[in-house]
Amino acid sequence: MVSAHMFVMFYIFIGLIVCFELYLAIKFIEYFYCACIMNQPPNVDTPKKTRQKIIEQINTYYKDAKTVCDIGSGYGNLARFVQRHTKTKVFALENMAFSVFVSKIMDLFCFGKNKTIWCDAYKYLDKTKKVFDIGIAYLGPVHVQKLKKYKKKMRILICLDFKLDDIKPVRIIDAGPGYTKYNNKKYPHKLFIYEFK
């Protein structure tokens, strides 16, 4: 004979499966929308070694930094990591609604100073009067070039894996094993660090 307890466990199990399937479906739609409609790379999580290297650079060279702008923050993992390990307030800019939703939910558990903003990052940077101490960008090689226009909006820019054309970085840091694959080309994990006067 089936007990009420088994029925409850069964419905909880079915509910978890439905939630997981819904999550996967939304993620697929978001990836499709990114790649096919917006012509931008989908969210790629920043490897832990790379995140640690970013923290090392900030805490070694830019201890006085107060504000960080994570351009294209995805689910906010990098933004939360930076906020936890530095004395900065992080503005996480993301244009995908589901990514922003996940990020805001996760921010609730961090009790930090993150501010996740649903926006087109380039339009936000066009309009804001803020000048960020540090900008961090993990964008594709074409999209990262657009940041050259915003040199007056940040004192330091840390580009992950993809460098700015025609601007020499002050440092290039090996950011751990592995690579980012973009358009069938492999880009080793590196930090390209720029300082704008």
One DSSP character per residue, 79-140 reads: HHHHHHHSS-EEEEEE--HHHHHHHHHHHHHHTSS-EEEES-HHHHHHH----EEEEEE---
pLDDT in tens, 6-54: 777 777 888 888 877 777 777 766 766 666 666 666 667 788 999 999 9
Query: Please, what's the b/e burial string for 84-106 (b: 16 or more CB within 10 A of its CB; e: otherwise)?
Result: eebebbbbbbbbbebbbebbbeb
Phi-psi label, residue 109: left if phi above 0, alpha if psi -120 to 50, beta otherwise: alpha
Q: What is the pTM of this model?
A: 0.83
**Domain 48-195, CATH homologous superfamily name and number:** Vaccinia Virus protein VP39 (3.40.50.150)
pLDDT in tens, 133-156: 999 999 888 889 999 999 999 999
pLDDT at residue 191, rounded to an integer: 97
Q: Per-domain residue ranges for the chain?
A: 1-39, 48-195
